[in-house]
A and B are shown apart, each in its own frame.
Chain A
């Protein structure tokens, strides 16, 4: 009956014997018993088989690859070092470092200093992380790497744009009923220009692992691995929007990075949804949603939060671990996020905090690593981790939604995630570069400086010791990490511990847009009071200068800005000179101090192919001062100087000469000149036997062998 058909017949006796054997020895029976438990054995064998093939293939291919590189002369040149390890503590302040060194709190930093070098490290103009770390990676000043601030402006609308990344929209779709199938990928562009030194190293087959160095989104493509950092958005496409689910009546909206979601309590249960990004797979692009349920247990003072198939029971004040938030977009398509939640109150009113929804590293909606699977690899190896560029939720603390303890926990948890990744990568590195930037120093100093500055308007004495000592404790934690790294160093390894800038108190905010308005450089539309964000109240036809971002002042230049009225050339130069003269030494009469030490003409600071994109002036605020919150969000109204009463109490966006970074190195550096962050890239290239490209502004250091 089956003649002509191929036969695939197991002998029944053999098969049954195999089954019987399976009762005592699982390994042989996998295929027979069927899946389930049998899966374990079968897939295990498959995995082992595949890995052995991979290893064998790699070993066999090794001589051919080496030969190919030799023929192409693309192999690594002779190098002075085996490994170049850079530990970046964003914002580690030299004054505090000195203080803690003198107090004997940093024994490993002290050992590093004794062994090699401890110097100040000049930062960039302005002293901002995206600018400074871009100079670190490219060895160039901002006019060559094109990053001048967190924000740039749209020259047509004067609205703010992220300075480092453009995320384009998908325009072309196939339509299938209500579904839209994208015909293209959204354009994603890193606006940082010039080559990072690890790309140049990679061209000569020198491996680099780059972890969370700012302005690496979308990631660079090179011989190595990279996890993106600053400017990676959250799932909503913002730089970090926390959610507050609350039964409390509507209140004023948050100024920074937060959304209030009104919920209703039914019995002891809240049913709501987490609203995600818009669903580009469906006509009309409705928002994606993920159901969220909160079930209260008032007797126990806790609640069970169910979201995305996960459940977690939390007491009031307890912060959850990472929870998965799947947003189904279309059949077979889910946009995945992760977030942490905290039950804030459980009384007459119920409030639940949800951290910004980070891209799920196991299935990121955007490329956040190179190679693409690297983010997933880290997540599978170490568990879920924060992917958001500015991952620590400073906004929630600033808005008083979360408290100091919650912020500290978040910051330390994220720091620990990164330490684990870093130490694993260090363990794997035989030859090449490893750079990891730890942000906790920056974030914790931003939020806890008020506790070490008795003059700060938000200073309080009645705070727990762990909050008062949070900065010191973090420096000590960093010191321990340095000790761990030093213990792994070989004779041909070079370790640098650096910071991109230092820190200072942020007691008083300066609204330079208000000052420009007062001085007649900026004019408001008729009837407008200047309280609208993003300079929407400004009458551009009568405005000669405006501020945007954290440090930049722009002329409203004809031919550059859409509504420009200042003629380029002599008029512009004269206006700049006038502004510099007026701003330098600008006094805060109420505060009794100078608010602006110096306004810098960027044309005098740096020249390069992207000079045109630079602000016309960079404002060098005095210690204790910074752009005010209103000015940063493009408001013109209010006083020029005002107290900063927010938790965000420390800052570095001041005169860069006041906030240099630190440089520790395990070898002596012979240069007597000032060392700058821009010198590190050419130094790295030189140590690996490569000639730094002529466009680099930095000059290599004389590092002792």
Chain B
């Protein structure tokens, strides 16, 4: 997974870095269009289009039957049974494309989340860095340092939570590396992106020990070494919200809504049953 993530990070950076200057809404819309086309292609070539069309017609027929026989309870219930039965067929027929689409789209969304899910930490504003430790702190608390970052005060340890926190004040905009040195002398890096404005860049709020979910959700940095005694390091990046019709909306909803819309718009011209 680490290797896959490394490749995906390179690929995503190659695609998204040149677009960083564009309005995030435009890039998200472009990605939604691409995803819609990919979804339609997968549906077109991996599903039984004829059977899908037939089962959709039967579902529609059963719905109309419910409308037609709404005074006839047995007919109504039988029609609902038909709806349920045909729905199961519909889901069954969609399973293969579902699985095929789910994998690349999940990975793509993780990459997009890293680029468009967060805004940068503002220079001069104090934030708290948290390291989750595994309880072996007898030898002393780890230390934190970083170029362009002022560590304001000593670390604080919360034994019940197993967390060590530092209050830091970023000073210089741009990417930097926080360096956490354990009592044993092991050095752990954590990427930090400081931005004065609404700059789009890859940001990773969490670096964790290896796990499937962790790797899936936070692909930007390699996992932590389990031997270090540090389970995770967290940065409180603010979430990026996109302005849509006067609302601040998370990019993911925008992406999903647009992808749905593009699929609906393009399915007939492209002759895909979905």
Given A35-B259, A373-B64, A58:B106 Cβ within 8 A: no
Contact A19 B61 (CB under 8 A): no
Per the bound structure, the CA–CA distance linking A33 and B99 in Å amounts to 10
Q: Is the CB of A40 within 8 A of B99?
A: no
Question: A25 CB to closest chain B CB, in angstroms?
Answer: 10
Contact A377/B65 with A9-B250, A10-B252, A38-B98 known, Cβ cut-off 8 Å:
yes
Question: B84–A48 contact, CB under 8 A?
Answer: yes
Most chain A beta carbons < 10 A, residue from B59, B74, B255? B59
Say if the beta carbon of A59 comes within 8 Å of chain B: yes
A20-52 residues with Cβ-Cβ distance < 8 A to B are 20, 22-23, 26-27, 29, 31-41, 43-44, 47-48, 50-52
Closest residue to A38 on the B side, CB-wise?
B98
With A8-B248, A12-B117, A44-B91 as contacts: A33 and B101 at CB distance below 8 Å: yes
A100 close to chain B: CB less than 8 A: no
Contact B250 A376 (CB under 8 A): no
B70-A54 in contact (CB<8A): yes
Q: Look across to chain B and name the residue whose beta carbon is closest to the beta carbon of A209.
A: B68
A689 within 8 A of B: no
CB-nearest residue of chain A to B80: A51
Chain A residues, Cβ within 8 Å of B28: none
Least Cβ–Cβ distance between A221 and chain B, in angstroms: 15
- CB within 8 A of B87: which of A12, A16, A20, A44? A44
Q: A173 at interface (Cβ–Cβ under 8 A)? A: no
Tell whether, in the assembled complex, residue A5 and residue B91 are in contact, meaning their CB atoms are under 8 Å apart.
no
Known: A9-B241, A380-B57. A36 touches B90 (CB 8 A): no
**What is the interface of chain B mostly: helix, strand, loop, or mixed?**
helix
B61 touches A381 (CB 8 A): yes
B210-268: which residues lie under 8 A (CB-CB) from chain A?
212-213, 216-217, 239, 241, 243, 246-250, 252-253, 255-256, 259-260, 263-264
Within 8 Å by CB of B80, from A27, A55, A309, lies A55
Stretch at the interface among B8-16, B36-44, B147-155, B179-187: B36-44
Q: Which residues of A contact B198 (CB under 8 A)?
A: 1
| Among candidates A16, A19, A39, A55, residue contacting B263 with C-beta atoms closer than 8 Å | A39
Considering the chains assembled together, what is the distance between the CA atoms of A380 and B54 in angstroms?
A: 8
Known: A34-B35, A34-B256, A38-B98. A5 touches B247 (CB 8 A): yes
Q: Flag whether A62 is at the interface (Cβ < 8 A).
A: yes
Contact of A36 among B83, B250, B274 (CB under 8 A): B274
**Taking the nearest CB of chain B, how far is it from the CB of A603, in angstroms?**
45
Report whether over half of chain A's contact residues are helix, strand or loop; otherwise say mixed: helix
State whether B68 touches A371 (Cβ < 8 A): yes
- A-B contacts, CB under 8 A, total: 197
* Cβ-defined contact, B90 with A44, below 8 A: yes
By the criterion CB–CB under 8 Å, are B70 and A26 in contact?
no
Question: Which residues in B have their C-beta under 8 angstroms from that of A27?
Answer: 91
Q: B113 and A16: CB pair below 8 A?
A: yes
Cα distance A7–B243 in the bound complex, in angstroms: 10
Q: Does A185 contact B (CB under 8 A)?
A: no
Of all chain B residues, which has the CB nearest A382?
Answer: B61
Q: Count residues of A near B (Cβ-Cβ below 8 Å).
A: 56
User: Is the beta-carbon distance between B64 and A51 smaller than 8 angstroms?
Assistant: no
CB within 8 Å for A36 and B101 given contacts A7-B248, A26-B95, A58-B70: yes
Q: How far is the CA of A610 from the CA of B1 in the complex (A)?
A: 86
The answer, among A5, A34, A62, A65, for a CB contact under 8 Å with B243, is A5
* Known contacts A33-B98, A34-B101; A12/B217 CB under 8 A: yes
Are A50 and B63 interface neighbours, CB within 8 A? yes
Give chain B nearest CB distance to A427 CB in angstroms.
9
Q: Chain B residue with minimal CB distance to A5? A: B248
Q: Report yes or no: B91 in contact with A225, Cβ–Cβ below 8 A.
A: no
Hey, which chain A residues are within 8 Å of B80, CB to CB? Answer: 51-52, 54-55
Select one of B67, B102, B216 contacting A373, CB under 8 A.
Answer: B67
Q: Are A8 and B102 in contact, with the CB atoms below 8 A?
A: no
Complex CA distance for A146 and B213, rounded to whole angstroms: 77
Give the residues in chain A near B117, CB-CB below 8 Å: 12
Contact pattern, A 231-260, Cβ under 8 Å of B = 1, otherwise 0: 000000000000000000000000000000
Give the Cβ gap from A292 to chain B, nearest Cβ, in Å: 18
6 nearest A-B residue pairs (beta carbon): A36-B39, A37-B98, A40-B94, A5-B248, A381-B61, A380-B61
**Can you show 14 pairs from A to B with CB atoms below 8 A apart?**
A5-B243, A12-B239, A17-B213, A19-B109, A20-B106, A23-B106, A32-B252, A34-B260, A37-B42, A44-B90, A207-B71, A309-B271, A373-B68, A380-B64
5 more CB-based (< 8 A) A-B contacts, given A2-B241, A16-B213, A371-B68: A1-B198, A5-B246, A19-B216, A20-B106, A377-B65
